[in-house]
Chain A
Amino acid sequence: MIRLLAVLCLALLTSGCLTTISHYQLSQFNRGMSPPEVTEKLKKPPLISIPVVADGRSFILDRYFLNNGMGADIYYLAYEGNRLLFWGYVSEFRRHPDATLGRAVDKAIPVPTPAPAR
């Protein structure tokens, strides 16, 4: 029983470490980096890469989980023309002066629409 619990704990810890990125890593990015350069800095690939077209512009949005100390928050890295354009929380994308980025992230995470009233 103890062994099983130990294995489960280890699996949870390992998977947590593998899927999340840390805040200190965010300052290592530079605009214009290619996806392999970013992956090399993070030492891990994204959870998912989502191709999105917004206002006629094509983006790739890479989704990660960012460790916030207590859990993890969804965090996106946006590439345009295979170059890193912006990175941040969903809210940061939505208030970016380049409004297309906000629309792109909205396409990557569709906002749930409320059920129609009966």
Chain B
Amino acid sequence: MKNTALLKLLGSCLAVLLTVGCATSVPLQRAQVDSFRTGDSASDLQVKLGKSTPTLEHSFAYAGAQYLARHFNLQTGMQQSGTVVCTPTCMYIPIMVPVYTQFVIVYGDAGRTVRAYGTLEELSKSPEESVSALMPGLKVAMEKAQAEKKKG
């Protein structure tokens, strides 16, 4: 009986590890964002991004210029979740789940330099009009890219 319980527990742990391990993108951390600067070259920023991978990439146009947007999951915290395993006595297994927010890096100058970065909300209400003006076009292109990603 004890072996069965242990097996089930190990199975749950494995499922969690696989879920986390097989996540399609590596999230961004606050410490990395702190090192970003507007005007950074794409190659400099790539070094700062390290192993973080985007969840979505797409281009969009504004006022005759082309921009590239790369979306990342920014980890903002951890949340406790859990699962109940019954073997036959039930036990609660707490699991810590990361909490993410969508973070965007906008590259201008044909994708060579960083024009802006932040959450969708931060960029949309940026006091810098040249940044907030990019957002309606970016969001339309983002929705298209998301739909294509779902299809493909």
Contact = CB atoms under 8 A, between A and B. Distances in A.
B26 interface: no
Interface residues of B, number: 13
Given A96-B127, A97-B127, A98-B127, A30 B139 contact: yes
Interface string A86-98: 1110000000111
Contact of A27 (B120, B127, B132, B136): B120
Nearest to A29: B124
Contacts of A97: 127
B74 interface: no
Contact of B121 (A27, A32, A96): A27
A42 to B, nearest CB: 14
Interface string B114-130: 00000111001101010
Interface in A53-97: 86-88, 96-97
Contacts of B139: 28, 30
Nearest to B137: A30
A26 interface: yes
Residue among A29, A30, A88, A97 with max Cβ neighbours from chain B (10 Å): A30
Contacts of B121: 26-27, 29
A32 B125 CA distance: 10
A29 B123 CA distance: 10
A58 B120 CA distance: 27
A31 interface: yes
A27 B133 contact: no
B127 A30 contact: no
Contacts of A87: 125
Interface in B94-150: 102, 119-121, 124-125, 127, 129, 132-133, 135-136, 139
A34 B121 CA distance: 17
29 contacts: A26-B121, A27-B102, A27-B119, A27-B120, A27-B121, A27-B124, A28-B139, A29-B121, A29-B124, A29-B125, A30-B124, A30-B132, A30-B135, A30-B136, A30-B139, A31-B124, A31-B125, A31-B129, A31-B132, A31-B133, A31-B135, A32-B136, A86-B125, A86-B127, A87-B125, A88-B125, A96-B127, A97-B127, A98-B127
Given A27-B102, A30-B139, A87-B125, 10 more contacts: A27-B119, A27-B124, A28-B139, A29-B124, A30-B132, A30-B135, A31-B125, A31-B132, A31-B135, A32-B136
